Structure 1
Amino acid sequence: MRIFQNSGLYPAYRHRLEALRKHQRGYAEWMSAFLADRYGTAHYLQPVLQGAANAFFTNGDDESAQRLWAKEQGLPNGQSLEAILLAQIEHHRTEIFYNLDPMRYGSDFVRKLPGSVRLSFAWRAAPSPGADFSAYDLVLCNFPSILKSYADRGWRARYFSPAHDPAMDRFAMQSERPVDVVFVGGYSRHHSRRAALLEAVADLAGDFELRFHLDNSRMTRLAESPLGLLLPVKQHRRPRSIQSLALDPVFGLDLYAALGSAKIVLNGAIDMAGNDRGNMRCFEALGCGALMLSDAGNYPKGMCDGESMVTYSSPAEAVRHIRALLGDPLRLKRIADSGHHMVATAYSKAEQWKAFVQLAAAA
């Protein structure tokens, strides 16, 4: 089974990636540096992470790396990123194409795949108005309501889950966790529930060590700039209590280090997520050995309130849980350890790969 996995880069991560591969030479070294940083690894299949000869991985929107590959292969200059990705798939003699970036490479792209490809899978775990995934053999995610929306459109959709990255285990074993509560995520006017949560938790700053690693929207950055103070964009500014705690966003191994330094990782679904839960941060928080405090909803199997994690129904309840948990370190550690054991076993890379192989056999 020859697997080709394509992904995409979050804009704020690109600067870090450029620094990581500054002294690397060649496409293979560039991709090795990327994979070693563990960015997005919850979604990468076991053969990719093991460097298996039958597996190929790329980020199809990484123009620098893609053009470097094209140059090494002797492709003519000026090829589009789509043409380069198709050339990679043909060169690899791919049998199963698994795409984590179907909004960029949708059905039109799938219809151009070379003849060696017998199955095409897409991962998409967010509402996708206007998207066309009909040419894919399967559309995968771990949000049941989104899978139903795909099935209602006539697409073949199946449940598939992110997995635990074994590289997290060394962070989970850290006995010293100097940060009481950490939050890592985006912040914009589209995150109204998240903003209310962070504002409530920020009031604990006088009693506990809090760290908010926020990736702000362009409008938020503008609203908080000197120019923005003169413009009618007040609604995009963060409250001062949040601004005072805000740190730069973290990615890759820096993200693991931030989660591994915390006793509690605060998580919250974005407003468009409905009642389904199970975003990648769940797997990262539990995987790095912190107690995950997250909003109530329908979680994947094994993520149970009071056993492997703790849920809240309101910002005020989240604050009460934080005070209670930090006041009972034995209970906090018991739940955190249970969460780590659960995700490392039930959602291991081996289990993820086994599920993928089963999907491919049944497709």
Structure 2
Amino acid sequence: MKIAILDTYYPAFLTAQYEKTPSLKALPYLPQRERLLDECFGTSDFYSRHLNALGWDAQDLVVNCLPLQEAWAKENKIAYSRLALHLPHRFFRLPLIGRSLASLPGLVEIAVAQIKKTRPDVLYCQDLSFFPPKMLRSLREHVGLIVGQIACPLPPDDFLREYDLILTSFPHFVPRLRAQGIASEYFRIGFDTRVLEKLGHVEKDIPASFVGGISRHHGKAVPTLEYLARNTPIQFFGYGAGSLDSSSPILARHHGEVWGLNMYRALARSGITLNRHINVAENNANNMRLYEATGVGTLLLTDRKDNLGELFEVGKEIVVYSTQEEAAELVRYYIDHPDEAIAIASAGQNRTLSEHTYAHRMKELAPILERHYRSKK
């Protein structure tokens, strides 16, 4: 079966890559895409590589990367609206999502042309908000099954209803989507072992860290992070520091944005790393940091959730906190007891590498897609 995996990358990551390597945008489409995938941002090629190993024909589409998409359009002699591709560069530093992103005509037109040319059995959308509903509907004659995956706040209902299936790592989303008449299944995310090969040996020179974003979706976590900044030696990496009040104690220890391999490296350098879920996760653990932190061999300290025991053995493979005071106490304890921290981190890494890699996940995903494809046909 043929599958096109459609994704959008954070504009700040894309901006950083093209500023770091100005010659990147002059490369042909395939080597340009390969350079981006090599950075291991988001799910990179973690789906496509393992699906290809299972006998699928899988390819990645990074549909909001302007230079990349323009290269494909030129190589394939595709006409497109150039308005979106010539807006001021600063415009693309904004977090374009939902209707804002779908309103950029050039990007949508090129993505549609890619899908029509590919004619995949499965169109797998990692961003449910990229295509306007009418555009997604028009693609049906070129695609066998339209699938979405989500682990963030749901877009408007009209963006959801055009999908034949929506997969989610939020257990509580499944019954909610089904109640709307939308086929949905629980599907967990994971870790890719290629990250370890790319990182090599990393010295653990950061006692404790928080590596992640600070945004309106994480609003409940800011008081905890500030409490930790006042009461532990924790260091901070990620985006969103500019949204903090100038008096926030986080700022003095914030080391800026880290993306892709640099994000994994910040995690790997840490003896302990703190995780917290976005508000919409409610009482369920699901996020990528669970697997990224344990995957690189770092002790994961995460917020207590009802289903954590289904993923890891609490106290032996990860540790959990319920309050900011408990989080601070645990950070201080494991800094003072490094042997215990190393033992738990090692057990957590073993669990992730034995059960939670993308090689495992694609073996779970393939039969789900095949079943829904056959049912639709």
Q: 1:30 — aligned with what?
A: 32
Q: 2:361 — aligned with what?
A: 352
Of the three residues 321, 344, 353, the one matched with 2:330 is: 321
> Number of aligned pairs?
344
Change (3 A) 1:13 1:253: same
Instruction: Write the mapping of 1:129-148 to structure 2, written as runs, cut at 5 A.
Output: 130-131=156-157, 132-148=159-175
Give distance in 2, aligned partners of 1:263 and 1:13: 26
1:286 aligns to 2:286 (yes or no): no
Q: How much has 1:248 moved relative to structure 2?
A: 0.6
TM normalised by structure 1 equals: 0.87
Deviations 1:256-312 (A, max 9, x none): 110110011111112332111121111211111101101001345332321211100
Q: How much has 1:14 moved relative to structure 2?
A: 2.0
Secondary structure of the residue aligned to 1:325 is helix
Q: How much has 1:129 moved relative to structure 2?
A: 5.0
Q: Percent identity?
A: 26
Q: 2:42 — aligned with what?
A: 40
The alignment yields a C-alpha RMSD, in angstroms, of: 2.4
Secondary structure of the residue aligned to 2:40 is coil
Give distance in 2, aligned partners of 1:334 and 1:198: 25
Secondary structure of the residue aligned to 1:293 is strand
Q: How much has 1:341 moved relative to structure 2?
A: 1.2
Q: 1:86 — aligned with what?
A: 112
Q: 2:57 — aligned with what?
A: 54
Deviations 1:23-50 (A, max 9, x none): 3411111100010000012784143786
Of the three residues 60, 64, 72, the one matched with 1:69 is: 72
Give distance in 2, aligned partners of 1:217 and 1:319: 21
Of the three residues 273, 276, 284, the one matched with 1:268 is: 276
Instruction: Write the mapping of 1:1-363 to structure 2, written as runs, cut at 5 A.
Output: 1-19=1-19, 22-24=22-24, 25-41=27-43, 44-47=46-49, 54-78=57-81, 80-105=106-131, 107-113=133-139, 115-128=141-154, 130-131=156-157, 132-170=159-197, 174=201, 176-188=203-215, 191-205=218-232, 208=233, 210-216=234-240, 220=243, 236-299=244-307, 301-363=310-372
- Greater share of residues in helix: 2
C-alpha contact 1:48 1:55 (8 A) present in aligned 2: no
TM normalised by structure 2 equals: 0.84
For 2:113, give the aligned amino acid: A
For 2:254, give the aligned amino acid: A
Give distance in 2, aligned partners of 1:115 and 1:148: 29
Change (3 A) 1:248 1:12: same
C-alpha contact 2:29 2:71 (8 A) present in aligned 1: yes
Give distance in 2, aligned partners of 1:355 and 1:12: 32
Give distance in 2, aligned partners of 1:171 and 1:182: 21
Change (3 A) 1:349 1:187: closer
Give distance in 1, aligned partners of 2:160 and 2:262: 34
Q: Which runs of 5+ in 1 are unaligned?
A: 221-235
C-alpha contact 1:43 1:163 (8 A) present in aligned 2: no
Deviations 1:106-159 (A, max 9, x none): 543331215342111101112225233122111011111122221121110001
C-alpha contact 1:173 1:289 (8 A) present in aligned 2: no
Change (3 A) 1:148 1:172: farther
Give distance in 1, aligned partners of 2:28 and 2:45: 25
Give distance in 2, aligned partners of 1:4 and 1:114: 14
Give distance in 1, aligned partners of 2:11 and 2:176: 28
Give distance in 2, aligned partners of 1:111 and 1:360: 19
Q: 1:226 — aligned with what?
A: none
